[in-house]
């Protein structure tokens, strides 16, 4: 069962496996929740096919990591780790989830090929689910009112998921409290550190992007469609400040 907050989460982050959200976008989540926003995580597997860590261990790690980031969490069964595949039934499952939680923003893995195939698949499923969640005539979804999100933004779990040529939105995640919460959440996934220092990998990615953005650490999101602004103030600043 989901551990939902009393109010619908304005930000919903979806991952293929335990640790995807923390590694790929944890700094942005920490900044959002520490600024007073709410967040809910949806994981599409329990890491059943992983070399390190049992599903029970992976689930426990994910629950603790979500707590450290100030988010609630639920799991959805789409076939299990390394068995995720495109298909209308899975799209409808996620569309129903979007209607139930009614988020304003949704974060999902990129659809870039060459990364873990589950990441690519989940990114595509969420993209399609966000579209179907809007349509009132989908008979499988009629028990829930239609819902239109404001933005679908993709994140790269690792360097292999970074899209070629897509213009990202860069988020400053350099506040000490944000970095501390993000780092602690990543370290919770101790089973995955048995094969590689994923925490250092993600912090190094953030440091490199931060240097480009004129701050100490930054993370990127890739909008699924053009972003519409209602004021110049929403534009922020350019990375180089020209």
pLDDT tens digits, 83-136: 999 999 999 999 999 999 999 999 999 999 999 999 999 999 999 999 999 999
| 227, pLDDT greater than 70 | yes
Give residue 35's pLDDT.
95
For residues 221 and 172, what is the distance between their CA atoms, to the nearest angstrom? 11
For residues 149 and 168, what is the distance between their CA atoms, to the nearest angstrom? 19
For residue 65, what pLDDT band results from cuts at 50, 70 and 90?
very high
| 68, pLDDT greater than 50 | yes
In the chain, where the domains are located: 11-226
- Give the residue carrying structure tokens 């090929």: 113
Give residue 7's pLDDT.
64
With beta carbons less than 8 A apart as the criterion, state whether 20 and 119 touch: yes
| 166, pLDDT greater than 80 | no
For residues 139 and 91, what is the distance between their CA atoms, to the nearest angstrom? 14
For residues 119 and 84, what is the distance between their CA atoms, to the nearest angstrom? 9
Q: Per-residue pLDDT averaged across 212-218, rounded?
A: 95
- For every residue of the chain, DSSP letters joined together read -----SS--SEEEEESSTTHHHHHHHHHHHHHHHTT--EEEEES---TT-SSS-HHHHHHHHHHHHHHTT-EEEE--SS-TT-----HHHHHHHHHHHHHH--SEEEEE---TTS-HHHHHHHHHHHHHHHHTT-TT-GGGTTS-----SEEEEE-SSGGGPPSSPPPEEEE---HHHHHHHHHHHHT-GGGGGT--HHHHHHHHHHHHHHHHTSS-EEEEEESSPPPPSSGGGG---SS--
CATH superfamily of 11-226: LmbE-like (3.40.50.10320)
CA angle 192, 52, 112 (to 5 degrees): 60
Q: Per-residue pLDDT averaged across 137-155, rounded?
A: 96
- pTM of the predicted model, to two decimals? 0.94
Give residue 241's pLDDT.
65
Compute the mean pLDDT over every residue in the chain, rounded to the nearest whole number: 93
Query: Angle at which helices 20-34 and 198-213 pack, to 10 degrees?
Result: 50
Give residue 8's pLDDT.
62
Which residues, including other chains, have CB under 8 Å from residue 32's CB and lie 6 or more apart?
11, 39
């Amino acid at each position: 069962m989901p551990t939902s907050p009393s109010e619908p989460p304005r930000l919903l982050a979806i991952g293929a496996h335990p640790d995807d959200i923390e590694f790929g976008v944890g700094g942005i989540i920490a900044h959002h929740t520490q600024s007073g926003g709410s967040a809910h995580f949806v994981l599409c597997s329990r890491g059943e096919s992983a070399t390190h860590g049992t599903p029970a261990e992976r689930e426990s790690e994910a629950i603790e990591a979500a707590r450290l980031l100030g988010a609630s969490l639920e799991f959805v069964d789409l076939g299990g780790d390394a068995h995720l595949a495109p298909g209308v039934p899975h799209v409808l499952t996620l569309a129903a989830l979007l209607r139930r939680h009614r988020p304003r923003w949704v974060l999902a893995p990129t659809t870039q090929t060459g990364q873990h195939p589950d990441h690519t698949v989940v990114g595509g499923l969420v993209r399609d689910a966000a579209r179907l969640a809007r349509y009132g005539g989908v008979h499988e979804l009629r028990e829930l009112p239609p819902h239109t999100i404001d933005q679908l933004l993709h994140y790269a779990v690792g360097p292999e998921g970074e899209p070629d040529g897509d213009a990202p939105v860069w988020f400053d995640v350099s506040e000490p409290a944000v970095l501390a919460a993000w780092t602690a959440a990543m370290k919770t996934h101790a089973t995955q550190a048995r094969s590689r220092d994923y925490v250092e990998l993600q912090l190094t990615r953030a440091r490199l992007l931060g240097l480009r953005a004129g701050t100490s650490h930054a993370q990127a999101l890739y909008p699924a469609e053009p972003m519409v602004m209602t004021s110049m103030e929403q534009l922020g600043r350019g990375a180089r400040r020209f």
